[in-house]
Amino acid sequence: MTTTASTSDPVSPLTAPSPRIWNDPPSPATANELARRSLIGHLGIEFLEVGEDHLVARMPVDDRTRQPFGVLHGGASVALAETLASCAATFTVDPDEAICVGMEINANHLRPVTSGWVTGVARPIALGRRTQVWEIRITDGDGKLVCVSRCTMAVLATPASTRHPGSPT
């Protein structure tokens, strides 16, 4: 089952479908609302799709995300990649028991982009109890690979002060 906020299908399966990985089925609309007043919203990042084993978002290539020479800033690509990994990792855990935070990210910038949109797809490489590793592939409007990133997430116990009311301590 795939939840989609867009009619285009930017995802091409890399392997056979994985088992469902999400704690609760996340919604692109909910993710977009939560992100609206943060760096994510400022950069224009939009969540598009939640699949069985992937999360998809896109980002405009415009004055907010280009470097002074007119091409997509590598830091903007990394922000898209870490946004996808962080949100995807968070969607896999019970928020009353765990939170996910970034430990490390790397990125290879493969092709310049000057306008339009880039689309990122995050898929898990490893979903452990204490760490998760995600691969994020970012493509341009023609489907050409722009950036490949890997992000390692730490899975930590939810601080008692942020647990939902009524949850065990």
CA–CA separation, 134 and 150 (whole Å):
6
Q: Which of 82, 97, 104, 135 is catalytic?
A: 82
| Distances, alpha carbon 84 to alpha carbons 96, 141, 169, in Å | 21, 18, 29
DSSP codes joined into one string, 123-161: EEEEE-SSEEEEEEEEE-TTS-EEEEEEEEEEEEEPPGG
The pair of three-digit structure tokens given for residue 64, joined into one six-digit string: 């907010």
The side-by-side arrangement of strands in the sheet containing 46-50 is: 3-4, 46-50, 55-61, 116-127, 131-139, 145-157, 98-109
CA–CA separation, 39 and 98 (whole Å):
23
Catalytic residue check, 97: no
Indicate which residues carry an active-site annotation. 82
